[in-house]
Amino acid sequence: MSTEDENEVARLRELNSELEDSIKRCRAILNDCRKRLAANTNSPDPSEKDEESRLA
What distance in Å separates the CA atoms of residue 11 and residue 6, rounded to the nearest whole number?
Answer: 9
pLDDT at position 49: 61
1-56: pLDDT as tens digits:
899 999 999 999 999 999 999 999 999 999 999 999 999 887 665 565 665 666 65
pLDDT at position 42: 72
What distance in Å separates the CA atoms of residue 16 and residue 50, rounded to the nearest whole number?
Answer: 48
Is the four-CA dihedral 39, 43, 49, 55 of positive or negative sign? positive
pLDDT at position 51: 58
What distance in Å separates the CA atoms of residue 19 and residue 25, rounded to the nearest whole number?
Answer: 10
CA-nearest of 26, 27, 7 to 15 is 7
